[in-house]
Amino acid sequence: MTGLSFGQTIIFTAYHTKMITTLDEIRSALQNCLKAHVPPMQVRKDNPNVFEVAGTKPAMQGRQKVDGFYFASVVPKPKDIRLYFFPIYTHPDSFSLSDDLKKFLKGKSCFHIKKLSDEMTNELVDMVALGAKLYQEDDLI
């Protein structure tokens, strides 16, 4: 709560943020972050085990030619939802994460998410948008 003083009157304003804690809601929120960029990207997999988004231009990934450069996946696990976000691996210097979001990052590009606040959801939306912009600039999508 913050107090703002106007003369003798003090007004307190509580800031409530919605916290998403059910895995189904977290999965849906993360998938919606990715779906916002279809097109120009494509949904490559959409089943109970994985939701995957990739570019639409043929590309080489390692030694293999693929129908679109991998972008991100949402994968449900028993205790959390995993967001595999490849742009943070390919462009690490382009992303600055809050301390809250850093707590979910395991390894270089995988987030293990057990809860989502409005602020974290907004940060993820911005992160995905930046990743899409970087991939467009690099002609990957």
Task: Give pLDDT tens digits for 89-121.
Answer: 999 999 999 999 999 999 899 999 999 999 999
Containing structural domain, residue 80: 18-137
Rounded to an integer, the average pLDDT of 115-138 is: 94
The model's confidence at residue 4, banded by pLDDT at 50, 70 and 90, is very low
pLDDT for res 17: 60
Partners of residue 85 on adjacent β-strands: 72
What is the tally of structural domains in the chain? Answer: 1
CB 73 within 8 A of CB 84: yes
CB 71 within 8 A of CB 90: no
CATH of the domain at 95: 3.90.1150
Summarize pLDDT for 16-56 with one digit per residue, the tens: 467 888 999 999 999 999 999 999 999 999 999 999 999 98
Q: Is the pLDDT of residue 10 over 50?
A: no
Structural domain contains residue 9: no
